[in-house]
Structure 1
Amino acid sequence: MKSFKKLFLSAALIAGTTLGLAQTTSTAHADYAPKKLTVQFVPSQNAESMEAKAKPLEKLLKKELGIPVKVSVSTDYNTIVEAMGSKQVDVGFLPPDAYVLAHKQYNSKVILQSLRYDIKKGTNDEFDKSKLVDYYRAQVIVRKGSGIKSLKDLKGKKIAVQDTTSTAGWIYPAVSMYKQGININDKKNKIKTVVVKGHDQGVISVLNKNTDAAFVFQGAERLVKKDTPDVEKKIVPIYTTAKIPNDTITVRGDMSPKWQKKLQKAFKDIAKTKEGHKIVSTLYTHEGYVDSKDSNFDVIRKYDKIAEKLDK
């Protein structure tokens, strides 16, 4: 994990150079109008399960847009960023840090930000259905009775994490530890990280005692409740981060303004339908979407700058 992000950034730069002047020119002139729309999700849970749940979105988007739509789930955050940069994917459901990277490397454009129910005060995974918010939080979870009660207790422990462009699964928890004087990448702290794909896998790894802790979004326990109804009795959060801007719907950098607006309207309208709401709610607990802009993610850039210090 230590230098993974640096390696990825280098690879992304090389990929961008390889694509050459043609890409730079087309990105500068935002005139792309898709004849077939490709939409890709990042895995927040089992990828195969997610793809099955996301597939019905093809029909709904086709009805709204009047063109064929292909929906898929990427293997990880980095893959979808590169796919959008190389024009293989038109629309990506990107978490905040992956969006910031996509914007920096390929001028990808955020068009929407998701809305979720706030977490009810005094609980960890109960929704306050009277309040929709455009932010969420990350948590560090452990098994009850593990003896791990604070971030400092994570020294010498094994932690399940997402890849290094995951805001909740890496950036915010790792930076929070750094602010408390614990560099997760410093060998003297003897912390081992295990990359898992999906926040449900982070929860499961802690439940199965494969890891001592996991970096997940707040309420990720809900993802495994069907198989483990008493998960709240077995898992406890030891740290909750500051607010994180909600997930994005992002388009490739050369998407025309006309199509950006069409997609904004389509996704907002679909989320208001019974079938469409069920899809986005099941996939990411999204309750709807609001228009967004790049400056909403400046806070992520601040965290990224601190995250760079983890390798020093």
Structure 2
Amino acid sequence: MRKRSFMKRLTAFMLAGLMVVGTTACSSGKTQQTDGSGEKKIDKLTVYFVPSREPDEIVTATDPLKALLKDELAKEGYEVGEVDISVGTSYEAVGEALSAGTADIGFIPGGTYVLYDDGADVILTATRAGLSKDSANPKDWNDGKATEATDKQVNYYRSLIIAGPSEKGKELADKVNSGQELTFDDLSGANFSVMSSSSSAGYIYPSLWLQDKFSKKLTDLPNLVQADSYGSSFARLASGEADVLLAYADARRDYADKWTSEYNRSASIWEETNVIGVTEPIYNDTISVSKNSKIMTDDFKTALQTAFINIAGTDEGKKVISIYSHEGYVAAKSSDYDKERAAQELIQKLNSGK
């Protein structure tokens, strides 16, 4: 929605002789209305999450966000009728929903934001606890002990290339842990579980790691299978269907319990998996908004920034956003993700063979 001045809204109000002035999104039926007292009303606010965890788990964990968001936006002068929360079928599906205006807000990684920044606008970057292990040397992650959160807040994370308990996975891990360098031939013999091509941790930065180490790209590996979530990726690793997976650095913390319960492993995830590669730091996830949503004015973006920052400051809010390991938010701008754009450009060149 184009931002109108107060005088234009007032003139339209007088000419129409109506109690409200609003703009309606034909595709979604959503409206933002302003009455004569300046109170702003939004019929429906649609929030999408990427499927980096099990969709049912995300929907359940984020359900309290509906009331929290309504309450905080009310403090900013916005009355929201309904908050609808959905989990996209893929990272790209969420980016496309933002571009189309069918989603108003998206919780998406930096890589997805950059890929769809013609239709999405970043408003916040997540902060999270740093980790007890942050070495660029993969061997340093493989002491059999859990990676723990620290008190330090950071605005980045890393991606890890993680080998599992399969015969090939153990072979790769043994070589790394003995201080030897992996070759591309070593990796070519492994089955890889990867995320979609817009996933920073599950695709983009590991591909850059391959380029830096071996002048190769992910698609040069002969045995790649795309997973629909990190949960299914870890399930494949546990069963031996995959020898290696690509994931964010604290992913093993998120799936430590399921490793022995749901995935039926007898030893812990820390004993049975090993890091064989560590990427450069990745700028944290975003909360982005649609450039094509009819309710998304500049004033509303500012209100959303304040609302989410305030939500992250409450105990209930922290519980909600912990589903993505977020602990807080800071205001963001497009240029914060210029490094991510450079990474995307390189990936596109590599995949096109140029």
- The TM-score, its normalising length taken from structure 2, stands at 0.75
> Runs of 5+ in structure 1 lacking a partner?
1-25
Output one character per residue of 1:48-102: Cα deviation in whole Å (capped at 9) or x when no partner: 2211111121111112223121111111111111111111110000101110122
- CA spacing shift, 1:151–1:207, aligned 2, 3 Å: farther
Q: How does 1:20-31 map to 2 (within 5 A)?
A: 26=1, 29-30=2-3
Distance between the aligned counterparts of 2:50 and 2:333, measured in 1? 20
Counterpart-to-counterpart distance in 2, 1:120 and 1:129: 6
Q: Is the 8 A contact 1:205 1:211 kept in 2?
A: yes
User: For the Cα contact (< 8 Å) 1:207–1:235, is it kept in 2?
Assistant: no
Q: For residues 91 and 183 of structure 2, what CA distance do their matches in structure 1 show?
A: 26
Amino acid at match of 2:190: K
Asked if 1:234 corresponds to 2:256, the answer is no
Residue 45 of structure 1, CA deviation: 1.3
Which residue matches 1:21?
none
In the alignment, what sits opposite 2:291? 253
Of the three residues 122, 125, 138, the one matched with 2:159 is 138
CA contact under 8 A between 1:137 and 1:241: conserved in structure 2?
Answer: yes
Q: Look up the equivalent residue of 1:181 and give its one-letter code.
A: S
Q: Is the 8 A contact 2:157 2:282 kept in 1?
A: yes
Structure 2 spans left out of the alignment, 5+ residues: 5-22, 24-31, 33-41, 74-78, 134-139, 177-181, 261-267
1:80 touches 1:92 (CA, 8 Å); kept in 2?
Answer: yes
Residue from 92, 105, 109 that aligns with 1:78: 92
1:185–1:311 Cα contact (<8 Å) kept: no
Say whether the 8 Å CA contact 1:39–1:91 is kept in structure 2. yes
Instruction: For 1:154-173, list aligned pairs within 5 A.
Output: 154-173=187-206
Contact 1:178 1:310 in 2 (8 A): no
- Which one has a bigger Cα radius of gyration? 2
Offset, 1:238:
0.5
Shift of 1:130: 2.2
CA distance in 2, matches of 1:242, 1:166: 15
- Checking the alignment, whether the CA contact within 8 Å between 1:45 and 1:223 is kept in structure 2 is no
Number of the residue aligned with 1:206? 237
Match status 1:49 vs 2:73: no
For residue 151 of structure 1, report the CA deviation from its aligned partner. Answer: 6.1
Task: Give 1:184's aligned residue.
Answer: 218
Moved over 6 A (4+): none
Aligned to 1:277: 318
Cα distance in 2 for residues equivalent to 1:201 and 1:234: 17
What's the CA shift string for 1:192-219, capped at 9, x where partnerless? 1111122232222112111111111112
**2:132 is aligned with what amino acid?**
K
% identical aligned pairs: 31
